[in-house]
Chain A
Amino acid sequence: MTDVALGLPKLLTGIPGFDSITNGGLPLHRTSLLSGTAGSAKTVFGCQFLASGIEQFGQSGVFVTFEEPPVDIRRNMRGFGWDIEAWEAAGKWAFVDVSPQLTDDTVIGGEYDLGALLARMENAVRKVGAQRLVMDSLGAVFTQIAQSKIVRNEMLRITTALKKLGVTSILTAERTEEFGAIARYGIEEFVTDNVVVLRNILDDEKRRRTMEILKFRGTDHQKGEYPFTIHPRDGIIVLPLSALELKQQSTDLRITSGNQVLDDMCGGGFFRDSVILVSGATGTGKTLTVTQFVNGGAAIGERCLLFAFEESREQLFRNARGWGLDFHELEKSGCLRVICRYPEVAGLEDHLVSMKAEIDEFKPNRVAVDSLSALERVGNSKGFREFVIGLTSFIKHHEMAGLFTATTPTLLGGASVTEAHISTITDSILLLRYVEMYGVMRRGMTVLKMRGSMHDKEIREVSIDSAGMHIGSPFRNVSGILAGVPVHASEREIARLNDLFGQ
């Protein structure tokens, strides 16, 4: 599927994820409107568009600033590693400074146009041989030029001239509301055929940034809002989660869960590039399942990356010691890396970006997340689902095995929100449940789902001691475990029930 076949050619921007949701970048030699409320990262996007051009494609850029003086922009963008000053010196970046000057009193004394601005822009484009240009922002033009008719005519003239110069450009504009008119002056739509909207929505007390391609005239793009994050080092990263394609390879390769009986229950172990969800109430053995999974990998020299969102390092290491495992030794040998974070330190998008970066760096064979449900609190349900899709597809794409845990809110039976959201995304589901029998709490485990494989359908008793997890024989004559109301039934009772229905 090429973009040319579907319409106008596009220019790859190099902004991570953006080229994916735009099906190949911004329309080539056109001006695209980038609209957003205050603080929606319009200026960062603009600077990154130019920076990516220089760093990734060797394309020079011009930044026309109507608002912030260049000295501020140079300073603000240094954090992202963009050395604008050096690029200016190398003739790759040029500013056209139209920011408000404090010097002279200015009055209007007759008719005028913005010929000087156009001349300066053309001059800058020619000087550095620019292929990219950013105008930031339209609203600031209006603070200097009050007559909207003049601005409208002149912006049209400028975008036409830019097209002739072969420059792909972005014009930023302010919006007053997240879901209102595209922009506030009512002229923006006339100026450009392409509109990208940045949003910074307060949703359930959490800030969530999204990006939407509203229209690209004459060419295709992905529809809807996509979350993005501003990484402190890498700038804007769009997460094209729903645009992911199901193209992961799958293998018949099996890996051990670290427990022989569990492997047998799964029909010979987990699949290598599959994602397994372990669901259970607190204390049913989820973290132990993770620990076994780590140990099973380490025993055959596989590396495991463990993300812990509920317990601290010390707690995890102590738990492992209690089951006869030394995480310190495993970390030293390079088979394990444990990363502990509070879920609340970042938004889901940021968590996803940093987790991907950790995975890329450590290159593990196995990834464990304990627990996934702790991250539920950070975002809304849609965001959480997107996060899980993003993480699972990333893990599978890299041919790793993922083991996620989910905590159920009730002790007996019950399903967690996590399960409801992600059960269809995961390949296998292990249920750990409490079973109350004659006043004693016992633990049960069952393989609920194992995509592409035969598996044990029975609910087996699990006992935990200092040597780890022991999976025993199935619970016989007990029903209602998963519903949370185990009923012990004798053979005679079963026979009586059968008779009842027989009548």
Chain B
Amino acid sequence: MPTLVFELFVTGRTRQSQAAIQNLRAYFAEIPEVEYELTIVDVLEQPDRAEERHILATPTLIRLLPMPSLRIIGDLSAREIVWQTIGLLSSGDAPGTTRNIEEPNHD
């Protein structure tokens, strides 16, 4: 059972929806040791699910586990906020550190 469980609400194949999915997958690609479960809900196909969860904006990411549940609205491009909010960083680590490690790969 993964410790991180997410639900991501998107609207069809809009640019922001696609960006949210890609951004989230990219973040987890950087930390392959972390197990997570992600359900993508298209509100156009499952509007009742959006009703149940009171979703207003898309994309909306809900972290269902661990408790308490949290929400991030937007295409998840704000890396710092996303990492902090869903707790991918252990305390003391700054998101900048992670980025520095990546940088040599780009050279």
Interface residues of A (CB under 8 A from B): 96-98, 101, 103-117, 119-120, 122-124, 144-145
| Contact call A110/B19, Cβ cutoff below 8 A | yes
Partner of B71, one of A104, A115, A122: A104
| Contact call B75/A111, Cβ cutoff below 8 A | yes
| Contact call A116/B70, Cβ cutoff below 8 A | no
Partner of B72, one of A97, A106, A115: A106
Question: What are 24 contact pairs spanning A and B, CB under 8 A?
Answer: A98-B56, A101-B54, A105-B68, A105-B70, A106-B71, A107-B72, A107-B81, A108-B81, A109-B72, A109-B73, A109-B75, A109-B81, A109-B82, A109-B85, A110-B77, A111-B77, A112-B59, A114-B57, A115-B14, A115-B58, A116-B60, A117-B56, A119-B11, A119-B44
Known: A104-B62, A105-B71. A116 touches B43 (CB 8 A): yes
7 smallest beta-carbon distances between A and B, as pairs: A110-B74, A115-B11, A123-B47, A110-B75, A110-B77, A119-B43, A116-B55
- Residues of B34-64 at the interface with A, using a CB-CB cut-off of 8 Å, are 43-44, 47-48, 50-51, 54-62
Q: How far is the CB of A83 from chain B (nearest CB, A)?
A: 22
For residue B19, which residues in chain A have a CB less than 8 angstroms away from its CB? 110-111
In the complex, what distance in Å separates the CA atom of A116 from the CA atom of B60? Answer: 9
Partner of A120, one of B43, B60, B61, B72: B43
B98 interface contact, C-beta 8 A: no
For residue B59, which residues in chain A have a CB less than 8 angstroms away from its CB? 110, 112
With both beta carbons as reference points, the residue of chain A lying nearest to B72 in the complex is identified as A109
| Contact call B69/A116, Cβ cutoff below 8 A | no
Interface centre among A104, A109, A111, by most chain B C-beta atoms within 10 angstroms, is: A109
| Contact call A115/B43, Cβ cutoff below 8 A | yes
In the complex, what distance in Å separates the CA atom of A122 from the CA atom of B56? Answer: 13
For residue A113, which residues in chain B have a CB less than 8 angstroms away from its CB? 11, 14, 16, 57-58
Partner of A117, one of B57, B70, B71, B75: B57
For residue B72, which residues in chain A have a CB less than 8 angstroms away from its CB? 106-109
For residue B54, which residues in chain A have a CB less than 8 angstroms away from its CB? 97-98, 101
| Contact call B75/A116, Cβ cutoff below 8 A | no
In the complex, what distance in Å separates the CA atom of A124 from the CA atom of B50? Answer: 12
B6 interface contact, C-beta 8 A: no
In the complex, what distance in Å separates the CA atom of A104 from the CA atom of B55? Answer: 11
| Contact call A111/B74, Cβ cutoff below 8 A | yes
| Contact call B43/A108, Cβ cutoff below 8 A | no
Interface residues of B (CB under 8 A from A): 9, 11-12, 14, 16-17, 19-20, 23, 43-44, 47-48, 50-51, 54-62, 68-78, 81-82, 85
Partner of B50, one of A105, A109, A111, A119: A119
Question: For chain A, what secondary structure do more than half of its interface residues adopt (helix, strand, loop), or is it mixed?
Answer: mixed
For residue A144, which residues in chain B have a CB less than 8 angstroms away from its CB? 56
| Contact call B75/A145, Cβ cutoff below 8 A | no
| Contact call A97/B51, Cβ cutoff below 8 A | yes
| Contact call A116/B11, Cβ cutoff below 8 A | yes
In the complex, what distance in Å separates the CA atom of A73 from the CA atom of B63? Answer: 30
| Contact call B58/A104, Cβ cutoff below 8 A | no
With both beta carbons as reference points, the residue of chain A lying nearest to B64 in the complex is identified as A104
In the complex, what distance in Å separates the CA atom of A97 from the CA atom of B51? Answer: 7
In the complex, what distance in Å separates the CA atom of A259 from the CA atom of B70? Answer: 83
Q: How far is the CB of B67 from chain A (nearest CB, A)?
A: 11
In the complex, what distance in Å separates the CA atom of A105 from the CA atom of B56? Answer: 14
In addition to A109-B81, A115-B58, A120-B47, 7 A-B residue pairs with Cβ atoms within 8 Å of each other are A109-B77, A112-B58, A113-B57, A114-B56, A114-B57, A116-B11, A122-B47
In the complex, what distance in Å separates the CA atom of A115 from the CA atom of B46? Answer: 13
For residue B73, which residues in chain A have a CB less than 8 angstroms away from its CB? 106-110, 112
For residue A105, which residues in chain B have a CB less than 8 angstroms away from its CB? 68, 70-71
Q: How far is the CB of B58 from chain A (nearest CB, A)?
A: 4
Partner of A110, one of B50, B71, B78: B78
For residue B76, which residues in chain A have a CB less than 8 angstroms away from its CB? 109-110
In the complex, what distance in Å separates the CA atom of A137 from the CA atom of B87? Answer: 35
Q: How far is the CB of A377 from chain B (nearest CB, A)?
A: 50
In the complex, what distance in Å separates the CA atom of A108 from the CA atom of B77? Answer: 10
| Contact call B50/A120, Cβ cutoff below 8 A | yes
In the complex, what distance in Å separates the CA atom of A110 from the CA atom of B10? Answer: 13
With both beta carbons as reference points, the residue of chain B lying nearest to A97 in the complex is identified as B54
In the complex, what distance in Å separates the CA atom of A105 from the CA atom of B16? Answer: 22
| Contact call B71/A116, Cβ cutoff below 8 A | no
Interface centre among A97, A110, A119, A122, by most chain B C-beta atoms within 10 angstroms, is: A110
Q: How far is the CB of A102 from chain B (nearest CB, A)?
A: 11
In the complex, what distance in Å separates the CA atom of A348 from the CA atom of B55? Answer: 46
In the complex, what distance in Å separates the CA atom of A464 from the CA atom of B34? Answer: 103
For residue B50, which residues in chain A have a CB less than 8 angstroms away from its CB? 116, 119-120
Q: How far is the CB of A88 from chain B (nearest CB, A)?
A: 13
Interface centre among A103, A104, A145, by most chain B C-beta atoms within 10 angstroms, is: A104
With both beta carbons as reference points, the residue of chain B lying nearest to A103 in the complex is identified as B69
For residue B60, which residues in chain A have a CB less than 8 angstroms away from its CB? 112, 116
In the complex, what distance in Å separates the CA atom of A115 from the CA atom of B43? Answer: 8
| Contact call A116/B57, Cβ cutoff below 8 A | yes
With both beta carbons as reference points, the residue of chain A lying nearest to B45 in the complex is identified as A119
| Contact call B47/A112, Cβ cutoff below 8 A | no
For residue A96, which residues in chain B have a CB less than 8 angstroms away from its CB? 51
Q: How far is the CB of A28 from chain B (nearest CB, A)?
A: 26
Q: How far is the CB of A161 from chain B (nearest CB, A)?
A: 12
In the complex, what distance in Å separates the CA atom of A122 from the CA atom of B62? Answer: 23
Q: How far is the CB of A492 from chain B (nearest CB, A)?
A: 95
With both beta carbons as reference points, the residue of chain A lying nearest to B17 in the complex is identified as A115
In the complex, what distance in Å separates the CA atom of A124 from the CA atom of B59? Answer: 20
